[in-house]
Amino acid sequence: MKRFYITPGEAAGIVAAQSIGEPGTQMTMRTFHYAGVAEQVPTGLPRLMELVDVKKVPKKPLVEIHFKKEYAKSKKKVEELMKKIEAVHLGDIGKAVENLEKRRILIKLNEKVLKSLDLTIDDVLKGIKTTGKKSKKKQYIIIKFDTDDLKKLRRHYIKIKDTLVRGVKGITNAVIVEENGEYYIKAKGHNIADIVKLKEVDATRVFTNSIKDIEALFGVEAARSALLREIKQVLYMQKLYVDIRHIMLLADAMTFRGKVMNIGRHGLAGHKASVLARAAFEETVKHLTIAAAKGEVDLLRGVSENIIVGKTVPIGTGRILLEFTPPKEE
Amino acid sequence: MVLHYNPTEFEVKRIKFSVFSPEMIRSLSKTKITVPDTYDDDGYPIEGGLMDQRLGVIDPGLKCKTCGGDSKHCPGHFGHVDLVRPVIHPHFAKDIYKVLNNVCHECGAYVGSRKKCPECGAKKEKVVWEKPVTFYVGEKELLPTEIMEILEKVKDADMEKLGYDPMYSRPEWFVLTALLVPPVRMRPSITLESGEKSEDDLTHKLVEIIRVNEKLEANINAGAPQLIIEDLWKLLQYHVITYFDNETANIPPARHRSGRPLKTIAQRLKGKEGRFRYNLSGKRVNFSARTVISPDPMISIDEVGVPKAIAEVLTVPVPVTEWNKREIIEYIERDEYPRVLYVIRPDGRHIKVTPTSRESILENIGVGWIAERQLKDGDLVLFNRQPSLHRISMMGHLVKVLPGKTFRINPTVTPPYNADFDGDEMNLHAIQTEEARVEAYELTKVDKQILSPRHGKALIKPNEDHITGLYLLTRDDAKLDAQEAARLLYLAGITELPKPDIDKKYYSGKLIFSLLLPPNINVKVEGKMSKRVVIKDSKLVEGVLDEKVVDHAILEQVFMKHGPDITRNFLNNITKVGLEYMTTHGFSVSLKDYMVSEKARVKIEKILDDMDKEIEKLINGYKNKTLQKSPGMTLKQTVETTIMMITSKTRDASGAIIRESFGKHNPSIVMASIGARGSILNAIQMSAIVGQQAIRNKRPHRGYYKRTLPFFEPGDLRGRARGFVYGHFSHGLEVDEFFHHAMAGRDSIVNKGIRTARSGYMQRRLINALQDFVVVDDYTVRDAKDRIVQFVYGGDKRDPMFSAVEEYIELPKEDDVDTATR
């Protein structure tokens, strides 16, 4: 029924922005405890701002990793996989000490921790990638170097200290979650690029709350969906209902240029066609001088610039002209 | 050159931005400014000075020496200063830097990233830029004269590579040899009460520029040592920098005698109080009024009560036509309130209607004249409350002139404005054109905004006492005699009594409510107070009304089926009838209603005891480290979160006891259950436990050494020591509880302040980012460059305001989602 269609000319953008922004005042700043994985995940206003600002990495990055059918049903298999995924650094299982005199690095491993993680000294030995000569002795690993350059030795030491013994870089605090008879992993981190490389992982259902990572791996369309999902979740969690069409428009606005753009001065608002609109928003002088140097032309086709020059804005009834045909006189 | 132009004859189509060349500056200039002074001792503008009358006049009575216009017509004219030595325009320093690093310093050819000049083979020079305007090649400083020489050599053909349009901006123009002096209009002097003249900041700055320029010239001509000349040159550069921007980094701001930094050009434009945001994006308006608001439930939701004092001042222009001429003449002839204040002749002259002018006006008035009539009942006005967070913060209301000095609105329309009556003020705008009036009527009128554009649910709806009234009215035991029924129905404009439905003598409340319903309303939902609420063919046959039933089931359905007019009347009727019924039957709370029975008190004490024990156990577990850590948390965090859980569980448990003790008919419980006002929590806090106080969502823990207040043992982690309030409001709080409660109260106020500031900025950015997106005729969403943002608005073209429509109206299937266009 046409009656319930949006009216052509409707300032859909402004209505969407108001619909999402207005409940902001009612939003709490509470953080949310994300079972086991991360202590406090921002929700509400801070999270919404994080989303529209498209932070490179969210304050508390999280991943959800689902597995292919043959693994997902069994808790045991998923537990196995979790070990494969969760990052274990050398620092977690032992202590590395450098001995500059003897040109060697000594690593003392904690056997208890090793056992709890199902690792052997050989596994660790294999994990350490270095040019030095590796050898083991009880719970010790000794790496010898035949260089006299202490600076180099120090560099080796720093590198070895942060060695990733097992798992995917940056993925920590993993927990197993059961849902509809399926087991999957929730964890801290956002390195989905490396996660999808694992053959057991169902790459179609890898998710992270880091929009930038989704864009980098899956592209803008996926980023749009992620934005939509995340913004909706933030609002609905606090029972602030906003029609999905408004959120869609925001997500589309942030992605229609082919890459994810934030809404601030370095994103959508800063890339507007109109000089006046940009100058009226932020960094007034900068935009005016750049426009002068480049010889820019303002075509006055947006809202702000027409308000500035005192014309009718090209939105709603401002887009149409009225015509009146007076009745003919007899 | 058009000097006396009428701006309405022209339309700004586009604006080109460019940089003035020195030639352009000199040709634009009406006079060369040479004297670093303004007025002579007699207070007369010095010729060749900064107030030269060729720059335009602002004093009424004087004539401009350039265009001959008086202060009303002369737009002002530019002058200029010839700088003896060139200086760098600070805002273009970055551009200069870029050009210098991309062109050959010998021949001006474009070099780009190459090491040698492709034309003359000279080595490419690496230029270092020291902010704001100093440039070095190696150790040697490039003087502005040298920079200009290099920039002048750049060929027009290479400009595109550099990103400039040589017609409008050449790099050497970024170095100033002539400075444009703005018209006096832009920097008016003010005469103080003492008769002393005080100059504008810009004038002060220009005086200094000219003074230094003069001194520099004298020194050059006198053959002064290079060192002195360079110092003066630097000084000139400093003054020019601060003239453009007095907040340049690494440059001390130029100050007024009083020590206040000068407001120069950049400061005038920038920021919230700058020209752009303060004067250009937001404009002041006439025909507006502002006063305190107060409630009046008896006026319609689409009305606004306007004090007579305001209605007498605001006017509405009424064009005189053949059809209304007689009516207007009557208004002109009147001496009292609804009368015409001014008339506008066809030539645009305003004439005040006074006893003396009246006769001649009446003699001449005819078609083509406009009468400015005082605001009267039925005029449409725009009504607004700040902050205008969404479009429904401004709606069209019909004027109703009332005695008193406040604007009156129906409390039912407060939610969209987020208004209350604790001293809020609102703004009113009298509409001035027919076009605007039609738009305001069709688009902004209150009854068309009943549904929120945010989610399609009712925003203007009965609340608080309306709900209570309707609940009381529709209860099964509501029995009205003929007199009362007639009184209620009369409020809704129904003057005929139906047949009594109880004992052939009495009327049920349900019957009364049914009579208010428009036709064709059917509801069958679960109610908060009754299992089922059934409305069949606009007759309430079963159940009692509550908040959810009224707005989500009935009101939205009425709007979808019958539209704004009927919904508005329906709303007016049910709120008035609800309030009347409640007023006559009485509904109130007293201290007695919050007294807890002895049995319940014991129970509450018991659960508090249990809580204490549980917390004690937990703390012991923590102290001897037998407690199991929760995943991802430290032991301390585990204790804290568990305690928080226990305390909130305790308060909830007391809720059940309160509910049981108070019974169904306790007014506080009734209001909470039907969604009229408050929640069970309020009852709990007043009569059982106030509960855990929190600071930043955690139990308070700071203040004194290992404790919050000096009464406690250091390290005490038990409830009381960490902000649990065992008392209740009707009894009063203990001292420590009072402090904890005050701490939590302060925390929530601080939080609220931060939140509003943050969300305001986010809202501004959101609107700025999305404001140009508009749905066009083919239902695509486009931006200001006509680029497509969405191929089909919302995926289905549907207006979010009517997104809930299928719940109430069956739509033809194929129209649901437009798959063809997707």
Q: Report the pLDDT value the prediction gives residue B2, as an integer from 0 to 100.
A: 44
pLDDT confidence of A33, banded at 50, 70, 90?
A: low
Weakest mean pLDDT among A196-200, A314-318, B744-748:
A196-200
Q: Does A5 sit within 8 Å of B805, measured CB to CB?
A: no
Q: Are residues B243 and B295 in the same domain?
A: no
Task: Scan residues 92-151 of A and list those with Cβ closer than 8 Å to B.
Answer: none
How many whole angstroms separate alpha carbon B252 and alpha carbon B603? 72
pLDDT digits (tens, 9 = 90+) for B117-168: 877 877 888 888 988 888 988 888 888 888 998 888 888 888 888 888 888 9
- Domain annotation covers residue B720: yes
For residues B346 and B364, the answer to whether their CB atoms sit within 8 Å is: no
Q: Which residues, 6+ apart, have CB-to-CB distance to B687 below 8 Å? A: B594, B595, B596, B658, B662, B728, B729, B730
Better-predicted residue by pLDDT, A270 or A6: A6
How many whole angstroms separate alpha carbon A294 and alpha carbon B332? 58
Last residue of a domain, one of B698, B717, B740: B740
Residue A223, domain extent: 11-59+211-255
- Domain annotation covers residue A143: yes
pLDDT confidence of B817, banded at 50, 70, 90?
A: very low
**How far A50 CA lies from chain B's nearest CA (Å)?**
10
Last residue of a domain, one of A113, A144, A166: A166
Please check whether residue B163 touches A, CB under 8 A. yes
How many whole angstroms separate alpha carbon B720 and alpha carbon B697? 17
The dihedral of CA A284, A286, A290, A293: what is its sign?
A: positive
Please check whether residue B691 touches A, CB under 8 A. no
- Domain annotation covers residue B217: yes
Q: Are residues B410 and B322 in the same domain?
A: yes
pLDDT confidence of B816, banded at 50, 70, 90?
A: very low
Q: Does A307 sit within 8 Å of B765, measured CB to CB?
A: no
How many whole angstroms separate alpha carbon B702 and alpha carbon B686? 27
How many whole angstroms separate alpha carbon B382 and alpha carbon B398? 9
**How far A28 CA lies from chain B's nearest CA (Å)?**
8
The CATH number of residue A218's host domain is 1.10.1790
Last residue of a domain, one of A113, A141, A166: A166
For residues B28 and A302, the answer to whether their CB atoms sit within 8 Å is: no
CB nearest A21 (choices: B169, B281, B763): B763
- Compute the average pLDDT of residues B208-219: 91
Q: Are residues B573 and B651 in the same domain?
A: no
Q: Report the pLDDT value the prediction gives residue B107, as an integer from 0 to 100.
A: 83
Residue A56 has pLDDT above 80, yes or no: yes
Task: Decide the pairing of beta strands B394-402 and B303-307.
Answer: parallel
- Domain annotation covers residue B502: yes
Q: Are residues B257 and B239 in the same domain?
A: yes
How many whole angstroms separate alpha carbon B389 and alpha carbon B279? 20
Closest by Cα among B142, B163, B38, B34 to B86:
B142
How many whole angstroms separate alpha carbon A290 and alpha carbon A302? 19
Q: Total domain count for chain A?
A: 4
The CATH number of residue B732's host domain is 1.10.132.30
pLDDT digits (tens, 9 = 90+) for A291-300: 999 999 999 9
Measured in whole angstroms, how far is the alpha carbon of residue B228 from the centre of its chain? 55
Closest by Cα among B179, B177, B176, B175 to B97:
B175
Q: Are residues B299 and B422 in the same domain?
A: yes
- Compute the average pLDDT of residues B347-366: 92
Q: Report the pLDDT value the prediction gives residue A198, as an integer from 0 to 100.
A: 86
- Domain annotation covers residue B503: yes
pLDDT confidence of B450, banded at 50, 70, 90?
A: very high
Last residue of a domain, one of A141, A166, A191: A166
- Compute the average pLDDT of residues B435-448: 95
Q: Report the pLDDT value the prediction gives residue B4, as an integer from 0 to 100.
A: 52
Q: Does B165 sit within 8 Å of A273, measured CB to CB?
A: no
Please check whether residue A321 touches B, CB under 8 A. no
Q: Does A27 sit within 8 Å of B755, measured CB to CB?
A: yes
pLDDT confidence of B810, banded at 50, 70, 90?
A: low
Weakest mean pLDDT among A118-132, B279-293, B743-757:
A118-132
Task: Scan residues 779-818 of B and list those with Cβ closer than 8 Å to A.
Answer: 779, 781, 783-785, 787-790, 793-795, 797-800, 802-803, 805, 809, 811-812, 815
- Domain annotation covers residue B761: no
Q: Are residues A101 and A38 in the same domain?
A: no
Q: Are residues B297 and B443 in the same domain?
A: yes
* Residues of chain A found within 8 Å of residue B391, distances taken between Cβ atoms: 14-15, 18
The CATH number of residue B483's host domain is 1.10.274.100
Q: Does B790 sit within 8 Å of A252, measured CB to CB?
A: yes
Residue B746 has pLDDT above 90, yes or no: yes
Q: Are residues A197 and A215 in the same domain?
A: no
The CATH number of residue A302's host domain is 1.10.150.390
Q: Report the pLDDT value the prediction gives residue B818, as an integer from 0 to 100.
A: 41
Q: Report the pLDDT value the prediction gives residue B67, as an integer from 0 to 100.
A: 83
Give the residue from chain B lying closest to A27, CA to CA. B755
Q: Is the link from the previous residue into B387 a cis peptide, with omega within 30 of 0?
A: yes
Q: Are residues B445 and B483 in the same domain?
A: no
Residue B748 has pLDDT above 60, yes or no: yes
pLDDT confidence of A55, banded at 50, 70, 90?
A: confident
Q: What percent of chain A has pLDDT over 90?
A: 32
Q: Are residues A77 and A175 in the same domain?
A: yes
Q: Is B710 exposed, middle or buried (0-12, 13-18, 19+ CB in 10 A)?
A: exposed
Q: Are residues A133 and A250 in the same domain?
A: no
Q: Report the pLDDT value the prediction gives residue A302, as an integer from 0 to 100.
A: 92
Weakest mean pLDDT among B8-22, B105-119, B194-208:
B105-119
- Domain annotation covers residue A44: yes
Give the residue from chain B lying closest to A270, CA to CA. B769
Q: Are residues A102 and A134 in the same domain?
A: yes
Residue B444 has pLDDT above 90, yes or no: yes
**How far A241 CA lies from chain B's nearest CA (Å)?**
6
pLDDT digits (tens, 9 = 90+) for B233-268: 999 999 999 999 998 888 888 888 888 998 999 999
For residues B107 and B59, the answer to whether their CB atoms sit within 8 Å is: no
Q: What percent of chain B has pLDDT over 70?
A: 97
Q: Are residues B408 and B498 in the same domain?
A: no
Weakest mean pLDDT among A120-134, B189-203, B235-249:
A120-134
Task: Scan residues 243-282 of A and list those with Cβ closer than 8 Å to B.
Answer: 243-246, 248-250, 252-253, 256, 263-264, 267-269, 272-277, 279-281
- Compute the average pLDDT of residues A148-174: 80
Q: Report the pLDDT value the prediction gives residue B5, as an integer from 0 to 100.
A: 56
Better-predicted residue by pLDDT, A132 or B801: B801
- Compute the average pLDDT of residues A59-63: 88
**How far B644 CA lies from chain A's nearest CA (Å)?**
13
Please check whether residue A307 touches B, CB under 8 A. yes
Q: Total domain count for chain B?
A: 5
Q: Are residues A19 and A113 in the same domain?
A: no
Q: Report the pLDDT value the prediction gives residue B814, as an integer from 0 to 100.
A: 44
Residue B409, domain extent: 288-449
pLDDT digits (tens, 9 = 90+) for B51-80: 888 888 887 777 888 888 787 788 889 999
* Residues of chain A found within 8 Å of residue B269, distances taken between Cβ atoms: 279, 284-285, 288
- Compute the average pLDDT of residues B319-343: 93
pLDDT confidence of B491, banded at 50, 70, 90?
A: very high
Residue B643 has pLDDT above 80, yes or no: yes
Q: Report the pLDDT value the prediction gives residue B611, as an integer from 0 to 100.
A: 95
**How far B748 CA lies from chain A's nearest CA (Å)?**
10
Residue B691 has pLDDT above 80, yes or no: yes
Mutate to test the interface with B, among A7, A18, A51, A244 (most CBs of B within 10 A): A18
Q: Report the pLDDT value the prediction gives residue A224, as an integer from 0 to 100.
A: 95
Last residue of a domain, one of B283, B318, B333: B283
Closest by Cα among B737, B651, B738, B640 to B688:
B651
Last residue of a domain, one of B555, B587, B619: B587
- Compute the average pLDDT of residues B732-757: 93
Q: Are residues A94 and A155 in the same domain?
A: yes
Q: Which residues, 6+ apart, have CB-to-CB distance to B197 below 8 Å? A: B38, B39, B43, B189, B190, B191
For residues A195 and A65, the answer to whether their CB atoms sit within 8 Å is: yes
- Compute the average pLDDT of residues B323-340: 93
Q: Are residues A204 and A71 in the same domain?
A: yes
- Compute the average pLDDT of residues B193-199: 81
- Domain annotation covers residue B6: no
Q: Are residues B555 and B522 in the same domain?
A: yes
Residue B484 has pLDDT above 90, yes or no: yes
Q: Are residues A94 and A134 in the same domain?
A: yes
Q: Are residues A96 and A219 in the same domain?
A: no
Q: Does A245 sit within 8 Å of B794, measured CB to CB?
A: yes
Q: Is B372 exposed, middle or buried (0-12, 13-18, 19+ CB in 10 A)?
A: buried
pLDDT confidence of B822, banded at 50, 70, 90?
A: very low
Q: Is B591 exposed, middle or buried (0-12, 13-18, 19+ CB in 10 A)?
A: exposed
**How far A99 CA lies from chain B's nearest CA (Å)?**
34
Q: What percent of chain B has pLDDT over 90?
A: 63
Q: Are residues B356 and B400 in the same domain?
A: yes
Better-predicted residue by pLDDT, A122 or B713: B713
How many whole angstroms separate alpha carbon B729 and alpha carbon B682? 10
- Domain annotation covers residue B68: no
Q: Which residues, 6+ apart, have CB-to-CB distance to A116 below 8 Å? A: none
Please check whether residue A296 touches B, CB under 8 A. yes
CB A183: neighbour CB atoms within 10 A?
21
Give the residue from chain A lying closest to B766, CA to CA. A17
Q: State both tokens at B57.
A: 């006049």
Weakest mean pLDDT among A57-61, B193-197, B446-450, B616-620:
B193-197
Q: Look at residue B534 and give its three-state secondary structure.
A: strand
Q: Are residues A237 and A196 in the same domain?
A: no
- Domain annotation covers residue B380: yes
For residues A6 and B798, the answer to whether their CB atoms sit within 8 Å is: yes
For residues A275 and A62, the answer to whether their CB atoms sit within 8 Å is: no
Rounded mean pLDDT of chain B? Answer: 90
The reported pTM is 0.89
Q: State both tokens at B45.
A: 């503008």
Q: Report the pLDDT value the prediction gives residue A11, as an integer from 0 to 100.
A: 95
Q: Is the ipTM of this complex over 0.90?
A: no
Q: Are residues B596 and B733 in the same domain?
A: yes
- Compute the average pLDDT of residues A214-230: 93
Q: Are residues B416 and B488 in the same domain?
A: no
pLDDT digits (tens, 9 = 90+) for A239-290: 889 999 999 999 999 999 999 999 988 888 888 889 999 999 888 999 999 9
pLDDT confidence of B811, banded at 50, 70, 90?
A: low
Task: Scan residues 240-299 of B and list those with Cβ closer than 8 Å to A.
Answer: 245, 266, 269-271, 274, 276-277, 280-281, 283
CB A257: neighbour CB atoms within 10 A?
15
B346: DSSP letter: T
* Residues of chain B found within 8 Å of residue A27, distances taken between Cβ atoms: 755, 759
For residues B81 and B176, the answer to whether their CB atoms sit within 8 Å is: no
CB nearest B454 (choices: A243, A284, A288): A243
Q: Are residues A92 and A151 in the same domain?
A: yes
